[in-house]
Amino acid sequence: MELLLSCLPPALWGFLSCAGFSLMYNIHGSGVLVASTGAAISSFFYFLIVDAYGSEVGAAFLAAIVVGVYSEIMARVRRCPTTGYLQVALLPLVPGAGLYHAMRYAVDGFYQTFLNSLVHTIGIALALSVGAMLSSSLFRALLPRLPRLPRR
């Protein structure tokens, strides 16, 4: 229970910080809440997996898969493009601080630390992109096979 509670503050900050980005991606009305909820979900799952297992790259991959499925479902429900929801939801996971620290190590002359930090940052970025692409591709491949719900 303590593990779940420790993941709530980052999820809340992810939700609040990405509300403004929703407007930048031309998401309006209740779509801002949907996109920001995706950001909260991505932050929550990322920190939950990092706290439980310790792997940041694996956590980024699994969080991207969860958010990819969430974005696809919400795009279908709201009849809007998936990319806006997905981009906003992945923003809290983007390794900007890792890239900053890697460049700082390079400027200061710590080349081995620079390479370690850069490889780790690239690993997180690749995990995010592959996880989102994989979940989106599988969802779209399986979607035609799912039974259609009757219209109301």
Query: Looking at this protein, which amino acid is placed at residue 102?
Result: A
Answer whether residue 107 is part of any domain.
no
Answer whether residue 151 is part of any domain.
no
Q: How far is 113 from 72, CA to CA, in rounded Å?
A: 38
Answer whether residue 28 is part of any domain.
yes
Task: Specify burial of residue 19 (Cβ count, 10 A radius: 0-12, 13-18, 19+).
Answer: middle
Answer whether residue 56 is part of any domain.
yes
14 within 8 A of 40, measured Cβ to Cβ: yes
Question: Hey, what are 79's tokens?
Answer: 């009849």
How many structural domains are present in the chain?
1
pLDDT given at position 108: 93
Answer whether residue 110 is part of any domain.
no
Answer whether residue 102 is part of any domain.
no
pLDDT given at position 145: 63
Give the distance from CA 59 to its chain's centroid. 10
pLDDT given at position 146: 55
Angle, CA of 112, 50 and 68, to the nearest 5°? 105
Q: What is the pLDDT of residues 53-105, one digit of tens each?
A: 888 999 999 999 999 999 888 888 888 888 888 888 898 888 888 999 999 99
Q: Which domain holds residue 71?
A: 2-93+131-145
Answer whether residue 99 is part of any domain.
no
Q: What is the pLDDT of residues 97-112, one digit of tens each?
A: 899 999 999 999 999 9
Q: How far is 148 from 35, CA to CA, in rounded Å?
A: 25
Answer whether residue 47 is part of any domain.
yes
pLDDT given at position 29: 82
